[in-house]
Amino acid sequence: MTTLTNTATLDSINPATGEVVGSVPLTPVGAIPGIVAKARAASKAWGAMTAKERADILRPAGQVLMDRSEELGKLLSREQGKPFADGIGEVQGCGYRLSDEVDEIAEAVRPQVLKGEGVETTVYHDPYGVCAAITPWNFPILMPHWMVLPALVAGNAVVLKPSEETPLIAQAYADVLNEFLPEGVLQVVHGREQGPALVKADVDLIAFTGSKATGQAIMREAANGLKRVILELGSKDPLLVLEGADLDKAAAFAARNSFRNCGQVCVSTERIYVDRKLHKPFLEKLVEQAKSFTVGACDEDGAVIGPMIHGRQKAHVIGQIKDAEAKGANVVFGNETREGCFISPTVLDGVTHAMDIMTTETFGPVACVMAVDSVDEAVELANDTEYGLGAVVFGEESLARDVARRMTAGMIGVNRGIGGAPGTPWVGARQSGIGYHGGPMGHRQFCQVRAVSVVAGGGDS
């Protein structure tokens, strides 16, 4: 959580205590065109290198992140709220695989040669030039890493605009990379109004993760220059618990995916549809699982989840719970609050699509359970949304596989979460986004494809 103390400084606030964690200089909006111009100038030499050369330059940053993971992880936790173990783990997740990641990205963007019908075509994956990376607060080092690293290895210069809620850890991440990068290749701007100004500036590609409304605003502005966009937006992920499901595993997944990071995850489970015959035992197991999620500040022993990022988000979640109760839902566990931004894991039963909590993104620690009478009803309700990021189906294997193919989400897990095998893209459908991240397909999103064709064997055309 942040506050603006004056025109020059952005303070980062610990959402558990209200204390100032630290501050960063607020970037003057009028300085952004010059920052982008500096990036464009730096992109020429950077883009002229091979992807392998760029990967080799970035490689040592992984060890620095690992060496500083406790320091940086605790900084992350203090400004975002998640427990220290989660904050340190997030930093380590970026550092541990960085060396492998830069090699994977370099391999994905190397030229490919195609031959046939007397023609030889080389498909190049060239840098766009300048990439604006606008990142959220819920995973405040992982999300910059997810955008900045492939953009850089692909040969772009990057201007990073992290969330104003978590500027410190994003700046620290950029500082680590800048120990090795040429000047101007990676720059950071801070502040709320700086995002729209960066989108309007002379950038070639905008990578954004955040709300649907902001994504729409970015698309409108990007259309003026036909700038490329990669947008991961909101979601309302469903979980289906059908005949043949392992209820212990389904309930454990439902609790973990509803409550982790205090429900502030883009693929949190926000709607649960359960075969009516399984409803009561599933609900009992879910409540039992929910009891293990202790709420506390990042440094509290035993805390599994931290606070909401700020009071506005807490008020949104409480408002949705109250609306659901007023319309007939039952709170079967939780719904306890304490001073500050804390809210306990909550289980709601008897929800319907007449309730806002089943149609509008919650982004909070609430598991909403609805009994259904058939597979068709479960599928229809699960797909009754404008979003489509993730979905999960628990049930007898062949049934669950069939149902998964009827989901309109971009990523579907069968008897497990949505995470895929190495190389799988992270992709949303419908209004959950445009473009995707991860794997060769995602890495190439940061590239302009160019196909150069010649007569095979070097002969005349």
What three-state secondary structure class fits 143?
Answer: helix
State the Cα–Cα distance between residues 322 and 304, nearest whole angstrom. 25
**Assigned token pair, 73:** 């992880």
Among 79, 104, 164, 232, the one annotated catalytic: 232
- 318: part of which helix (H) or strand (E)? helix 311-326
State the Cα–Cα distance between residues 153 and 127, nearest whole angstrom. 9
Question: Residue 388 half-sphere exposure, CB side, CA atoms within 13 Å?
Answer: 18
Question: Sheet containing 157-161: which strands, arranged edge to edge?
Answer: 186-188, 157-161, 130-134, 205-209, 228-232, 433-434
- Catalytic-residue membership of 94: no
- Catalytic-residue membership of 368: no
**Assigned token pair, 323:** 């609306």
Among 94, 131, 266, 447, the one annotated catalytic: 266
> Helices marked H in 124-166 — which ranges?
142-153
Distance of CA 374 to the CA centre of its chain: 33
**Assigned token pair, 439:** 């794997």
Query: Residue 262 has what DSSP assignment?
Result: G
Helical pair 142-153 and 98-108, crossing angle rounded to 10 deg:
40
Catalytic residues: 232, 266
